[in-house]
Amino acid sequence: MSLHIVSIVNVVLGIIGLGIAFYIYHKKHHAAPLVCPIGSDCDAVVHSDYAEFFGIPLEKIGLLYYFLITAFYATAFFVPLLNEGMIHFIMLGVTLGSFLFSLYLIAIKAFVLHEWCTWCLGSATVSTLIFVANFFVADLDIMPYLVEYKLLILLLHGIGAAVGLGAAVVTDFLFFKFLKDGKVSVFEDDVMRTLSRIIWFALGIMVLSGIGLFLPRAEELAESSKFLVKMVALSVIILNGVALNLVITPQLTKIDFSKDIHLLPPQTRKMRKLAFALGAVSITSWFTVFILGSMRSVALSFGDLLILYLGIVVIAVCFSQVTVGHVRTTSE
**Is the domain of 20 the same as that of 129?**
yes
30-88: pLDDT as tens digits: 999 998 887 678 899 999 888 988 889 999 999 999 999 999 989 988 876 766 667 77
How would residue 190 be classed by pLDDT, with cut points 50, 70 and 90? confident
Of 83, 105, 140, which closes a domain? Answer: 140
**Is the domain of 314 the same as that of 271?**
yes
**Is the domain of 124 the same as that of 179?**
no
Of 113, 140, 167, which closes a domain? Answer: 140
**Is the domain of 230 the same as that of 273?**
yes
**Is the domain of 100 the same as that of 151?**
no
Of 80, 111, 140, which closes a domain? Answer: 140
Counting the structural domains of the chain, the total is 2
**Is the domain of 118 the same as that of 180?**
no
- Residue 256: how many CA atoms within 13 Å on its side-chain side? 12
Q: 37: buried, middle or exposed (CB in 10 Å: 19+, 13-18, 0-12)?
A: exposed
**Is the domain of 202 the same as that of 286?**
yes
Of 53, 135, 136, nearest to 102 by C-alpha is 53
Alpha carbon separation from 210 to 124, 293, 296 (Å, rounded): 24, 11, 16
Q: What are phi and psi of 259, to 5 degrees?
A: -95, 160
**Is the domain of 306 the same as that of 199?**
yes
**Is the domain of 256 the same as that of 317?**
yes
18-43: pLDDT as tens digits: 999 999 999 999 999 998 887 678 89
Q: Residue 48 sits in a domain of what CATH number?
A: 1.20.1440.130
**Is the domain of 13 the same as that of 106?**
yes
Q: What are phi and psi of 57, to 5 degrees?
A: -55, 140
201-220: pLDDT as tens digits: 898 889 888 888 898 888 89
- Residue 245's domain comprises 146-331
**Is the domain of 288 the same as that of 313?**
yes
